[in-house]
Amino acid sequence: MSASADVERAVGLIEHTIRGLGIDPAASRTQREGHVAFALRRGSARILIAVHSPTDELKEGRLRVVAPVVQLPAPDRLPELCRELLEANASKLVGAAFAISGEEVVVVTERSVQDLDGSEVDGMIRNVGRLADAWDDALAERYGARRSSDA
């Protein structure tokens, strides 16, 4: 299967999964040059799902699922937060990782769209949403940060 066919197939799998969650994929879809994206909510978590087309650097398309968790705390709390997130990445999170994007802590997972199946799409979306929902209250309280869902 060609890389562009893999991307089209991945978009179809995502739409099917979103529909299974009771959400209209057309209402949550945006498209820009190089990627198709979907935005939805699961619990308190906002979930962003993007399929990136192949590029000169990446010969295959990529599926990335991201959920903002909390806004960054005050600068004096940042080292402690970063340490906790890195330790969680190493020992508590499976199939996803914490990262910082702009001024937010996010949960992210990514994989190639080659040989992607519907159960993987469903698992990625549910896992990222579950982790963001499970960690947002605790991180906000511990570090005096604002939950991204409240922003």
* Prediction pTM value: 0.93
Residues 73 and 82: their CA atoms lie apart, in Å, by 10
pLDDT reading at 3 higher than 80: no
Phi, psi of 43 (to 5 degrees): 65, -135
Give Cα separations from 26 to 77, 116, 126 (angstroms): 40, 21, 19
Average model confidence (pLDDT) across the chain: 93
Q: In this predicted structure, which of 2-6, 9-13, 29-33, 36-40 has the lowest mean pLDDT?
A: 2-6
If one counts the domains in the chain, the total is: 1
Range of the structural domain that residue 124 is part of: 3-150
Residue pLDDT, tens place only, 133-144: 999 999 999 999
Residue type, 69: V
